[in-house]
Amino acid sequence: MPKRAIVTDQAPRGGPYSHAVVAGDTIYLAGCVPARPDGTRVTGSFAEQAHAAFTNLATCAAAAGSSLDQAVRVGVYLRDWADFAELNEIYQEYIKGPDLPVRTTLPVALEGIDIEVDAVLYTGA
**Residue 96 maps to which CATH number?**
3.30.1330.40
pLDDT, tens digit, 9 for 90 and up, residues 65-99:
999 999 999 999 999 999 999 999 999 999 997 89
pLDDT at 125 over 70: no
User: How many domains is the chain partitioned into structurally?
Assistant: 1
Question: What average pLDDT does range 113-118 have in this prediction?
Answer: 98
Residue 125 or 23, more confident:
23
The two beta strands, 20-23 and 102-107, are unpaired
Query: Could you report how far apart the first and last alpha carbons of the chain are, in Å?
Result: 17
Task: Name, in order, each residue with C-beta under 8 angstroms of 5's C-beta and a sequence gap of 6 or more.
Answer: 18, 20, 21
Give the predicted TM-score (pTM) of the model.
Answer: 0.96
Q: Where are the beta strands (DSSP E) in 1-125?
A: 4-6, 20-23, 26-32, 71-78, 102-107, 115-122
**Residue 112, domain extent:** 4-122
User: Residue 116, SS3?
Assistant: strand
Q: What confidence tens digit (pLDDT) does each residue in 13-58 have?
A: 878 999 999 999 999 999 999 999 999 999 999 999 999 999 999 9
